[in-house]
Amino acid sequence: MSRISKVESRLRTEQDAVQDHLYANRLRIYPKSVRGKVRTIKWAILIACLTIYYVLPWVRWYRGPNQPGQAVLLDLSTERFYFFGLELWPQDIWLLAGILIMAAVSLFLVTSLMGRVWCGYTCPQTVWTDLFMWIEREIEGDRNERMTRDAAPLNADTIWKKFLKHGIWLTIAFWTGGAWIMYFVDAPTVTVDFWIGDAATPVYVFTGLFTLTTYGLAGWAREQVCTYMCPWPRFQAAMLDDQSFTVTYQAWRGEPRARGKRVEGAPTAGDCVDCSLCVTVCPTGIDIRDGIQLECINCGLCMDACDHVMERTGQAKGLITWDTLARQAAKKLGKHEPIRFLRPRTLIYVSALTIAVIGLTTALLTRSTLGLSVLRDRAPLFVPLADGSLRNGYTLKIVNKSQTNGAFDLSISGLPDAKLAVAEGDPTPSSTVHVLGSSDEVKTFRLLVTARPAALTDGSQPVDFILRDTATGAQTVYHSVFMGPVGYSGGAH
Amino acid sequence: MPTKIEKDAVSGRDTTGHEWDGIKELDTPLPKWWLYTFYACIGIAFVIFFLYPSIPYGPGYWHGVLGYSQRKMVDAEVAKLTAIRKVSLDKIGSLSFEQIKADPQLLEVAMTDGRITFAENCQPCHGAGGGGHIGYPALAAGSWLWGGTLDDIQQTVTHGIRSGDDDARNSAMPHFGADGLLKPAEIQQVADFVWSNFYGHKTEGQDTSAGAKIFAENCIACHGENGEGNRVVGAPRLNSHIHLYGDARETIVAQVTLPRQGVMPNWNHRLDPATIKAVTLYVHALGGGE
Ligand code: SF4
Ligand code: SF4
């Protein structure tokens, strides 16, 4: 018995043994390397994703003096989110919620069209696991070599190679954890601070945390994350139907599987030569020939593997291919079934997505950088004055989300001859007050409004506060009320 | 007890025996690493028990070897904040009102300190936001007895009114009725005059000349010819829409007969000068400041 078959038979015994137990040992998976169209696409996506992740924090963006110069920055300490030319305040958090909703609906749409392509190609768990497996392969060799090595007693070469592998894994994990932090603090600054010990404690804590999770999840946990931890495989079935494209073994063509050469005119054997190559390349260690299953991340590596076999045995490629359940059922009967991308399910997802995109874009484009909110004093509700007029106090907040200092005119409408005065400022009241609002700031002040409303039948009347940017003419209005004694009419006895 | 355990044909596993609308569940074993994670969590819990305050017993509790105490942390935080506050308070104490108002950051500290001090000490009589009550002046209205500039307010808050403090603001309206300076009928006449001429409750054809004469002889020294009041002696303004004891005619009669003499404590025995300055700034900004 060869080494490899010994390992394989041990795995088999383990697999049988678990059946009677409450707890199962993990079945070790040694994915074999594979080349092909799918693998090339997967490499390209992997490189693109990782490049974006590691490089994005280093992209600079000039916003003006004393402003953060990082293109993408989630600045928690000053409560500002920066995305290139866009600056979001905590008040805009619903935009972020909208983006997340859009992401979720896009995921539903893609899944209903193409199955779990997110899992197979772009999920960080897949991307980093793929990267870590590549490093493992480069150091310890391909499937057979790794299996032999693990079955053999430890020797110097194995120890050195494992040491090297974990070292590189940890380095990448550390780099990953560090890059994560750079989305929250200025990248060049934190890089220097980190090494001279000047960075804030959370920087070290989170870098350490993400180093460990990256190392643990991509190096050790791998497919266990997809199978046992991730909720997505559990409810993906709700998005799939028999018109969704998934990685499919064409059983009608492959079965009955049989080893050996295909002889012309001997119709008993199907196209599958039962070489198990599709199983050995699978990163989750399953057999696609069993049909759609929870563990399959739709990566398509088994397609590449099988295509090689088909080439070698001189049969048509695509025994394992992208297809739908409905088309497979039709093909089995020798019929043709058209591809249906437009179905009620996908149309609902598309329209939800369209609404979300239009809504968000409109909200973003019409988003005002000037805001006014008015809070009426609750005690006293109003102050009668010696001359018979009434005074109401309000607390105003002027929000200036722009990058320029603003000068504003504040006036009131609906209350003839009202006199305004800033409580802590110039005590001479006038019909309009001038307020300065620094860039990127909320200015809060108390405003005293003195007036003689003609009739307060029920003790209050509506008024509008109007804030106008003197430079741009932009205007915002806040509805409030002016109060006094019930039945007040101009303060005459 | 599940009874319908069967072998699943595809996976070769047993089912749990439970069935929901024809859906059966595989009896999939939990991965061992999952089990060990649970054990590790339990282990970590004991470590935390050991390190931090945890198990109570009889008279006390296990304090943990790290000496962690939230009360101590609060004390330290409070001490830290007090030190920070002291810097601003010292500045408020030493700078003039104009200098404080010129420094927006310091002014904000002063206003906040003033607001809190007002709520704790002044609000019971003067009302939230200085709205006032019967017998207690509405500070927000600006109808000042003793003056409404920052310095006036600071003086009043520091030394009080009829408080017994050496520098207190003192004045006493004569007891015109109680001491027999005016007869009851004269008091009614002067009340008619004040009520109709100054309080604004004119009645057609009413003759108030008798009251006007009494007012001119007895009251204008303090309250002024036109009832405009006099802040030097704390005499209230009478020709106004708002009055310390309310708008009713009887309050005039009562006040002339046996005046109420309001007392305000001198706060210098309770608040430090910087805090008094802060509360002065706050009161000044309530709306009545001059
Ligand atoms: S069965 Fe094929 S598509 Fe599915 S995870 Fe395995 S290799 Fe990828
Ligand atoms: S790789 Fe293709 S031929 Fe080989 S076992 Fe898998 S499906 Fe059959």
Does B235 contact chain A (CB < 8 Å)? Answer: no
* Partner-chain contact A23 B35, CB within 8 Å: yes
Question: B251 and B270 in one domain?
Answer: no
What was the pLDDT predicted at B1? 47
CB contact B35 to A (< 8 Å): yes
Torsion of CA A153, A154, A158, A163, to 10 degrees: 150
Task: Tell me if B141 and A391 make a contact (CB, 8 A cut-off).
Answer: yes
Question: What does CATH list as the number for A370-483?
Answer: 2.60.40.10
C-alpha B221/C-alpha A489 separation (Å) is 34
Residue with tokens 């500039």: B149
Kindly state if the Cβ of A306 falls inside 6 Å of ligand 2.
yes
**Which residues sit opposite A87 in a β-bridge?**
A82
pLDDT at residue A431 in the model? 86
Please indicate, yes or no, whether residues B217 and B193 belong to a single structural domain of this protein. Answer: yes
Tokens 């999939």 map to which residue?
B28
User: Smallest Cα–Cα separation from A423: which of B233, B124, B183, B285?
Assistant: B285
pLDDT tens, position by position, B13-49? 888 888 888 888 888 888 899 999 999 999 999 999 9
Average pLDDT over residues B222-243: 93
Chain B hits for A428, CB-CB cut-off 8 Å, are: none
Q: Which of A63-77, A259-273, A275-289, A465-479 has the lowest mean pLDDT?
A: A259-273
End-to-end Cα spacing for chain B: 85
Q: Tens digits of per-residue pLDDT, A9-59?
A: 555 555 555 445 778 888 889 999 999 999 999 999 999 999 999 999 999
- Is B39 touching A (CB cutoff 8 A)? no
The closest residue, in CA terms, to atom 3 on ligand 2 is A272
Chain B nearest-CA residue for A493:
B200
Query: Which residues have CB under 8 Å from A448's CB, separation 6+?
Result: A391, A392, A393, A420, A421, A422, A423, A429, B287
Q: Does B148 share its domain with B114? A: yes
Q: Is residue B22 part of a domain?
A: no
Nearest to B29 among A22, A386, A388 (CB): A22
The pLDDT tens digits of the residues spanning B71-95 come to 999 999 999 999 999 999 999 999 9
Domain boundaries, chain A: 3-60+115-237, 241-332, 370-483
Whether the complex's predicted ipTM surpasses the cut of 0.90: no
Indicate if the pLDDT at residue A109 is higher than 60: yes
List the domain range (segments joined by +) for residue B277. Answer: 72-168+264-284
Residue B147 and residue B273 share a domain: yes
Count Cβ–Cβ pairs < 8 Å, chain A vs chain B: 89
Claim to verify: residue B161 and residue B100 sit in the same structural domain: yes
Write out pLDDT tens, residues A265-304: 666 778 999 999 999 999 999 999 998 888 999 999 999 9
Is the pLDDT at A5 greater than 60? The verdict is no
Q: Determine, yes or no, domain membership for B173.
A: no
Tens digit of each residue's pLDDT (9 = 90 or more) over B195-219: 999 998 888 888 889 999 999 999 9
B192 close to B206: Cβ distance less than 8 angstroms: yes
A418: closest CA of chain B, how far (Å): 15
Ligand 1 neighbours, Cβ below 6 Å, are: A 247, 281-284, 286, 288, 296-302
B31 and A290 within 8 Å at the Cβ level: the answer is: no
CB contact under 8 A, B287 and A224: no
Q: Ligand 1 centre from A296 Cα, in Å?
A: 5
The whole-number average pLDDT for the span A471-484 is 91
Q: Are residues B162 and B272 in the same domain?
A: yes
B180 contacts chain A (CB < 8 A): no
- C-alpha to C-alpha distance for B142 and A417, rounded to whole angstroms: 20
Q: Does B13 touch chain A (CB under 8 A)?
A: yes
Q: What is the nearest CA distance from A148 to chain B, expressed in angstroms?
A: 24
Tally of structural domains, chain B: 2
**Residue having the nearest C-alpha atom to atom 8 of ligand 1:** A299
Is the CB of residue A442 less than 8 Å from the CB of residue A385?
no
Give the global pTM: 0.77
Nearest protein CA to atom 8 of ligand 2, as residue: A272
Pair B279, B139 in one domain: yes
Looking at residue B279, which CATH number applies to its domain? Answer: 1.10.760.10
Statement to judge: residues B82 and B213 lie in one domain = no
> CB-CB: which of B10, B200, B241 is closest to A384?
B241
Q: Is B141 on the interface with A (CB under 8 A)?
A: yes
Mean pLDDT of the region A53-72:
91
Q: Using the predicted structure, report yes or no on whether residue B52 has a pLDDT greater than 70.
A: yes
Q: Residue range B169-180: average pLDDT?
A: 93
Task: Write phi, then psi, for B228 (nearest 5 degrees).
Answer: -85, -5
